[in-house]
Amino acid sequence: MLAPTTVAAQAGGIGPIVLQLPASARAIGFGNAYVAVRDPEAVFYNPAQLGVRPGAALSVERYGEVGTAGAIATSYVFGPLGFGIGVQLVDFDVADAWYPAGAPNGSQLSVRGPFAASSLVAATALEMAYKGIRWGVTGKFAEDRVHGGRDGVLLADVGAAKDLWIGSAGLTVQNLGTSAQIGGTSVPLPTRATFGYAAGGIPWGPLDVAASAAVSLRRGGRVSPAGGVELGYTPIEGVVFAGRVGGRLPEKNAESPLTLGATFAFDRLSLDYGFEPYQGRDAHRIGLRIR
């Protein structure tokens, strides 16, 4: 399922490109290692984490002066079931109107081109616990649009999660389905299996420590580790200041291995910031979470 027909097919890019981008400002600070984290954005990372911490999240990211991405996600709990929905969209320019140049492995997100392009994913997910393990499944519609050409595909994610030691372990397989085609050509899906572990609330003097790590095996055999650490300070009850630093082995040509993040939280409301250098330019993401 994870093996490509030829490795060379990956050279022109992978699509839809939105499936490779962060969907959370907080996730960026952890190197986008978010498969074991219990936030509403789990609809994009691991559906098995949806029923743990219901809420809503909204974020927007700017890649240099060209590309713009946004995501919205919400999760609920109905008895034994967790339910989540989410939409993620990115607008950018490309140098060619057709695949594979229309899916340029991320390099065009911050570079102006002659053709307008966009990439969209809409997801619905369900989660339930069985035999002490949380199980989840996501149905997704993903679409690329390049200069009037468009193609949408139906995809699926499956995931599992379990509380383990002082945190949570998660496993997911994402982007199962058929590849999109534009102009008679297609690019491979970013099908991947990811395992991760996350823990939080670990006291360290006056600070609280949280950490998240993950490793992904992407279609074609590429292994991509990622992770990050968060330090939080609570001066008074209900108020939290936190900073994050993360690292990753970039999957896309334009990505930097270093990521940063910060959070200001008041009661159930959190304002998040994520920073990732991108193709020689800075990408900034701002997010709002409500629990």
pLDDT for 254: 72
At 15 the pLDDT is 79
Instruction: Give CA–CA dist 254/256, Å, rounded.
Output: 7
Specify the number of domains making up the chain: 1
**Within a domain: 2:** no
Rounded to whole angstroms, how far apart are CA atoms 6 and 248?
A: 25
Q: What is the pLDDT of residue 35?
A: 97
Domain membership of residue 132 as a residue range: 7-290
Amino acid identity, residue 286? I
CA distances from 185 to 24, 82, 97, 166 (A): 31, 38, 11, 47
Contact 107, 101 (CB under 8 A): no
- Whether 160 maps to a domain, the answer reads yes
Residue 209 falls inside a structural domain: yes
pTM (2 d.p.): 0.91
Q: Please check whether residue 282 lies inside any domain of the structure.
A: yes
For the record, the structure tokens of 13 come out as 């890019």
Give the CA count within 13 Å in the CB-facing half-sphere of 170: 34
- Determine the pLDDT at residue 112: 83
DSSP state, residue 255: B
Selection from 141, 151, 69, 44 nearest residue 102 by Cα:
151
Tokens of 80: 């034994």
Beta-carbon contacts of 120 under 8 Å, excluding residues fewer than 6 positions away, are 16, 18, 87, 88, 89, 90, 141, 142, 143, 145
Q: Is residue 1 part of a domain?
A: no
DSSP state of 20: G
- What CATH number has the domain bearing residue 229? 2.40.160.60
Per-residue pLDDT of the chain (291 residues; tens, 9 = 90+): 344 433 333 334 677 889 989 999 999 999 999 999 999 999 999 999 998 789 999 999 998 888 899 999 999 999 899 999 999 999 988 887 777 766 656 666 777 888 888 999 999 999 999 999 999 999 999 998 888 788 889 999 999 999 999 999 999 999 999 988 877 788 889 999 999 999 999 999 999 999 999 999 998 888 999 999 999 999 999 999 999 999 999 876 678 899 999 999 999 999 999 999 876 678 999 999 998
47 domain residue, yes or no: yes
